[in-house]
Amino acid sequence: MTPVLILILVILIGYVASQGFPENIDPNAYQGPPDKDSMMPGAEPIFFQGKNDVAFLLIHGFEGSPYTLKQLAEYLHQEGHTVMAPLLPGHGTSPEDFIKTRYEHWYSAIHKIYQEHRPHYKKFFVVGFSMGGNLALRVSANFSRFMPSTGIILISTPVFLNGIVDGRVIIKNWKLFFSGITRYFIPYLAKDKQILAGDVLSPWVGYSDRYTVPCLHSFKINIGKVRPFLKRIHSPVCLIQANNDRTIPVYNLHYILEKIGSREKRAFLFSINDNVTTRHVLMTHEETRERVHHYIMKFINDTLVDFDLKPEIWHPGPKKKITDRIFQIRRTRKMEI
């Protein structure tokens, strides 16, 4: 066998090991709500009916639940807004239920909710945490022309995990390179003990003890599909992440900020000093949750009144335990839709 054929064979094997073989997936499957008796305590979906014409769709992350966004939902409802935070298919019950679902099922659920509820509100925001942020980008891109969102809030959001992006080699976890094959032989992987310990400092309700490999693979191969369509999105956007996030490479924030078509952009970067958590779940982390909620509410209120800001970079004093880096890029644009 010639060196060229060997190289081609290695590349082919590597591609299959990473991407796997196509699955026949019905996006409409598994869309019904789970049995209440089987639902994890705290994982329940959230719906608060508001008193005005502003609504929010809150989307939780991979293996998580609406619990992560509950405090934000309560803040928004206190302002008179309608808030909906669905439990994504396969989530909030057991890994055995979760393993039946894929990214297409999770996105289909969000697509249907957006399509059903967006026309009934004058202003409609989409808020996503982690994978939920990716779903928020995808639904915003798909409805950008006919039913655009009023604003998009992305917290610790990925559009890639591993790969070469803009000439950068991004490696979150080398094991993910082989998920296309390992998913057939290793359905579950135990999570790092550090992740489990971090749940105390940064509370979270979801599948804490193990990763479900087929679902993780589906997540990996689908989150990048929104990248070519970021330029379609023109709604004001706010991005929030820790610059030492251990789950999602922070270059995701910079990439989205640069590529998204929005004229109004903000990005808030934290530095978290703890060595216990993943520094990923910012909405419940005891060091960051109040600031995250403050920045989100500021973005929402500013967007609702259609304001203008000059580009600015701000650094707090050296005594701050958490360093916040805020990038604001604004141009005047009518936000009424």
Per-residue pLDDT of the chain (337 residues; tens, 9 = 90+): 687 777 777 667 666 667 788 899 999 999 988 888 899 999 999 999 999 999 999 999 999 999 999 999 999 999 999 999 999 999 999 999 999 999 999 999 999 999 999 999 999 999 999 999 999 999 999 999 989 999 999 999 999 987 667 766 666 666 777 888 888 888 988 877 655 555 667 788 999 888 899 999 999 999 999 999 999 999 999 999 999 898 898 999 999 999 999 999 999 998 888 877 888 889 988 888 899 999 999 999 999 986 444 433 333 334 444 445 555 544 433 332 2
For residues 283-312, b (16+ Cβ closer than 10 Å) or e, as one string?
bbbebbbebbbebbeebbebbbeeeeeeee
Q: Phi/psi at 269 (nearest 5 deg)?
A: -115, 130
Contacts of 95 (CB under 8 A, 6+ apart): 188, 207, 210, 212
Domain boundaries, the chain: 47-329
Residue 318, amino acid: P
SS3 of residue 59 by DSSP: strand
Q: What is the pLDDT at residue 198?
A: 57
54 - beta bridge partners?
123
Instruction: State the pTM of this model.
Output: 0.88
Query: What phi and psi, each to the nearest 5 degrees, are found at residue 228?
Result: -65, -15
Tell me what pLDDT residue 21 has.
81
| Residue 90 neighbours by CB under 8 Å, 6+ apart | 30, 97, 98, 99, 100, 101, 105, 106, 215
The per-residue pLDDT for 311 is 37
Let me know: does 277 contact 198? Beta carbons within 8 Å. Answer: yes
Number of residues in the chain: 337
Tokens 């992350």, located at residue: 61
Sheet harboring 54-59: ordered strands across? Answer: 46-48, 82-85, 54-59, 123-129, 151-155, 237-242, 265-271, 323-329, 312-314
C-beta of residue 283 within 8 angstroms of C-beta of residue 253: no
What CA dihedral angle connects 293, 298, 304 and 306, to 10 degrees? -150
- Give the Cβ contact number of residue 121 at 10 Å: 19
Separation between Cα atoms, residue 121 and residue 86, nearest integer Å: 18
Max CA separation in the chain (angstroms) = 72
Report the DSSP pairing between strands 312-314 and 323-329.
antiparallel
Residue 40, pLDDT score:
95
Choose among 150, 199, 159, 153: nearest CA to 58. 153
Q: Which residues contact 219 (CB under 8 A, 6 or more apart)?
A: 62, 103, 131
**Which pLDDT does position 19 carry in this prediction?**
79
The pLDDT value given to residue 276: 75
Query: Residue 258: which residues within 8 A CB-CB, separation 6 or more?
Result: none
On whether the 47-329 domain is CATH 3.50.50.60, my answer is no
Cβ-proximal residues to 236 (8 Å cutoff; 6+ apart), any chain: 150, 151, 152, 262, 263, 264, 265, 299, 303, 333, 335
pLDDT at 194: 55
**pLDDT for 286:** 85
What are the residues whose beta carbons fall under 8 Å from the beta carbon of 145, sequence distance 6 or more? 232
Q: For residue 182, what are the contacts with CB-CB under 8 A and spacing of at least 6?
A: 175, 213
Evaluate whether 157 touches 242 at the Cβ level (below 8 Å): no
Query: What gap in Å lies between CA 40 and CA 46, rounded to an integer?
Result: 14
